[in-house]
Amino acid sequence: MRVERKDLLGIENLTRNEIEIILDTAETMKEISERAIRKVPYLRGKTVVNLFFEPSTRTLASFALAEKRLSADSFNLSGSSSSALKGETLLDTVRNLEAMKIDFVVIRHAMSGAAYFIAERLEASVINAGDGTHEHPTQALLDLLSLKERLGNIKDKKVLIVGDILHSRVARSNIWAFKKMGAKVSLCGPPTLMPYKIENMGVEVSYNLDEAIQDMDVIYVLRIQKERQRGGLLPSLREYIELYGITLERFENAKDDVVIMHPGPINRGIEIDPRVADGTNSIILDQVTNGVAVRMAILYLLSGGKSGEVSEA
């Protein structure tokens, strides 16, 4: 089965069927990374630009490896996110790149909608690697794959997303993703970091983590930016940890087989106790491993590949 679209811009507009095709393809892609020679020719002759206007370690490395393992020609460009200050607009930058004949732009940008903006104006396929506080679809897809591997099935599972929902593109993409796969999603965090009317996404919202954590199947912990204190959103990090940190004590009150997830990078000792992050309930490193497979699957499917044909190559 194919994914009939030019771009991957967000989870909100994906169908459940499309998500399943991507996850199925990613499962078969995973095996390639286990081989002695980790390379297949699916994207041979295709050119991919990783255009990162915000710093990234995991996502950029993961895309770069995915592209190389599919034999694409790829390179990374980084830049300042403020096109007005930079002198050259984002549109000019991508039009120049397209003039050099490219097939894919993987873009990360500080502004919501940046990926949509260039996708509408380019022939090349655009993959959103995170736009502002809007979406981070590849993260949500790798999270689904990781959770599926651990739990077998996501349907009816209770997922709790904890932390700074307001500034999190991961939260938005993951809410759509978990919901589309039939999970029950709840959010917990300080009200000052909860976006207006987020419950309209079909999620439960609470402010008491000790209550919210009980009988959850999954706890998805978000990174808390230390700067949030300045904007008047938090009185102190100390109080945040006391109220919303996944401490060892809280973890022990959760279900025995609760799955712990985190998109990285982790602020150890702040949003999560290191012993929880590194414990057996955690699938944080599986998420990273699956990032490569999911991104391989997306590149392959957007270039016209069919799921189910991968293993034959």
Residues that bind other proteins (CB under 8 A): 12, 82-84, 89-91, 109-114, 116-117, 120, 131-135, 169, 172, 195-198, 200-201
Closest to other proteins by CB, 27 or 54: 54
Ordered strands of the 204-206 beta sheet? 204-206, 184-188, 158-162, 218-221, 259-261
Closest to other proteins by CB, 120 or 249: 120
Q: Minimum CB separation from other proteins for residue 207, in Å?
A: 17
Q: Minimum CB separation from other proteins for residue 279, in Å?
A: 32
Closest to other proteins by CB, 175 or 293: 175
Closest to other proteins by CB, 111 or 266: 111
Q: Minimum CB separation from other proteins for residue 113, in Å?
A: 3
Question: Strand ranges (DSSP E) for the chain?
Answer: 47-52, 73-78, 104-109, 125-131, 158-162, 184-188, 204-206, 218-221, 259-261
Q: Minimum CB separation from other proteins for residue 64, in Å?
A: 24
Residue among 13, 21, 7 nearest 306 (CA): 21
Closest to other proteins by CB, 202 or 235: 202
The C-alpha atoms of residue 139 and residue 161 are separated, in whole angstroms, by 14
The overall longest dimension of the chain from CA atoms, in Å, is 57
Q: Minimum CB separation from other proteins for residue 237, in Å?
A: 22
Which residues lie below 8 Å from residue 252, measured CB to CB, with a gap of 6+?
Answer: none
Residue among 220, 188, 59, 198 nearest 129 (CA): 59
